[in-house]
Amino acid sequence: MNRNTNAFKNGIQDGIPIALGYFAVAFSLGIVARKAGLNPFQGFLSSILNHASAGEYAEFTVIMANAPYFEMAFVILVTNIRYLLMSCALSQRFSPDTPLLHRLIVGFGITDEIFGISIARAGDLNPWHNYGAMTIALPSWAAGTAMGIIAGNILPTAAVSALSVALYGMFLAVIIPAAHTDKIVGSVVTASFLISFLVSKIPSLAAISNSLKISLLTILISGISAFFFPVKEDPEESSLTDEDQEVTVR
């Protein structure tokens, strides 16, 4: 239990910068939610169940269009489909004896940034680390949406939009250390940026949503990378304690 407690505390520590970035981005998202007619409680509930800015923006757009629930469900599914891939990737990092309930809860709380700090850890993943990050990051995301609805249009649009830069800066802080340490990871990250940019400029693919493009590119690039540069499993890594993992990551 002591190991799980340490993992939970480490998760909270890793989740603090994520929570700060989430609050800023969700605040601007809350203004969109207010235009869609949601009250603060509805906005909070939406964000605590849907942890993606693109997915929630699509949700609020569908609400404003008075579209049916089926269309909303389909749009959110397509927009958030990349999290299915992330959950599958994390499932391979758990110890084989990890209960299904833990896997489901961790999968429910997957976001781009929580996935980043999870996949960067050495050895088997401890679900309690994810719980710690989720405990502080997800409520902050939901609270930011509620506060954005309350604030409405008081702040200038430019000022609210500028707050979203914090999230992208935080995500770069997650991937840059790993890319700097491993040349293969750095090359894959660079190739991903370039290919994503080129794909976004192809007119024939303009009708495909950005999330679907990201999902398809993720499968393609990660599949090619895994085929040519398979990760060699170190038997000593799986025996590391959570404290050892924390030292290794840092």
* Domain residue limits, the chain: 2-249
Mean pLDDT of the chain: 80
Please say if the pLDDT value at position 41 is more than 90: yes
Cα(44)–Cα(64) distance, integer angstroms: 18
* Mean pLDDT in residue range 26-54: 87
Q: 73-77, 92-96, 128-132, 196-200 — which one is most confidently predicted on average? A: 128-132
CA nearest neighbour of 214 among 28, 72, 86, 104: 86
Average pLDDT over residues 10-24: 89
Mean pLDDT of 203-229: 78
Q: Span 67-90, mean pLDDT?
A: 82
Give the mean pLDDT of 170-186.
76
Q: How far apart are CA 124 and CA 176, in angstroms?
A: 22
Give the residue ranges of DSSP H helices in 152-164: 157-162
User: CA–CA separation, 83 vs 115, rounded Å?
Assistant: 9
3-state class of 125 per DSSP? strand
The pLDDT value recorded for residue 236 is 52
What's the whole-model pTM score?
0.67
Determine the straight-line distance between the first and last CA of the chain, rounded to whole angstroms.
23
